[in-house]
Amino acid sequence: NAGVMQNPRHLVRRRGQEARLRCSPMKGHSHVYWYRQLPEEGLKFMVYLQKENIIDESGMPKERFSAEFPKEGPSILRIQQVVRGDSAAYFCASSIATGTSSGNTIYFGEGSWLTVV
Amino acid sequence: AQTVTQSQPEMSVQEAETVTLSCTYDTSENNYYLFWYKQPPSRQMILVIRQEAYKQQNATENRFSVNFQKAAKSFSLKISDSQLGDTAMYFCAFMKTGANNLFFGTGTRLTVIP
């Protein structure tokens, strides 16, 4: 049973370019989350999506960042016009559902490491 | 707002010994979940153990166990018979029941010494 799959694992972008990070949730999971980890810090919630819907984007920066989870295909986190401060690890996670007897357990992917030069 | 505090930035333990990592949290919620995640040098986030706040019994997973003190809002992780593969960052995390995001502490870097 494949886990949460993220790609690319490592991405280098020049300032001003766009970064696209992809995430396929675990089989059977319909809820996707994106978290960001800055160096030497814990993970910070960015956005929570279900298929074709953004449920909670309270942790997303207001500009340049967007996320989607289309009906078909992986979830995409898109960062436009990247700046050095965007350099971080971006983790995708998935769960079966919230508020279920499974207890909201969230499983993480291996992360995508963005470096802006 | 929920906050999670890990007051030990770094810890070390001899192989085969036992170590306890501390975590406290602040919330006004009564129903929630607590988690410990491990992040080894590969940097993958791996779920170690989970605790439901409504359960009084402490969760246990093989060599990993927790000491959950709800009144004190404390959730420590005990690792018994430490192994070299336990070397990692350990993050404590909180989630309100029915919510959709985890709040993480800043982590404790554990080194197991051979």
Alpha-carbon distance of A58 to A26, in angstroms, equals 24
pLDDT tens digits, residue range A23-63? 999 988 889 999 999 887 889 999 999 988 999 999 999 99
List of chain B residues whose C-beta atoms are within 8 Å of the C-beta of residue A113? 43
Which residue from B minimizes the CA distance to A31?
A: B100
The answer to whether residue A101 scores a pLDDT higher than 50 is: no
Give me the mean pLDDT over the A11-28 stretch: 96
pLDDT band at A100 (very low <50, low <70, confident <90, very high): very low
Contact B47 A89 (CB under 8 A): no
**Which of A29-43, A59-73, A95-109 comes out lowest in average pLDDT?**
A95-109
Residues of A in contact with B37 (CB under 8 A): 108
Q: Which of A29, A44, A94, A104 to mutate to test the interface with B (most CBs of B within 10 A)?
A: A104
Q: Over the stretch B3-35, which tens digit does the pLDDT of each residue have?
A: 999 999 999 999 999 999 999 999 999 899 999
User: What whole-number distance in Å separates Cα of residue A92 and Cα of residue A47?
Assistant: 10
Contact yes or no for A114/A82 (Cβ under 8 A): yes
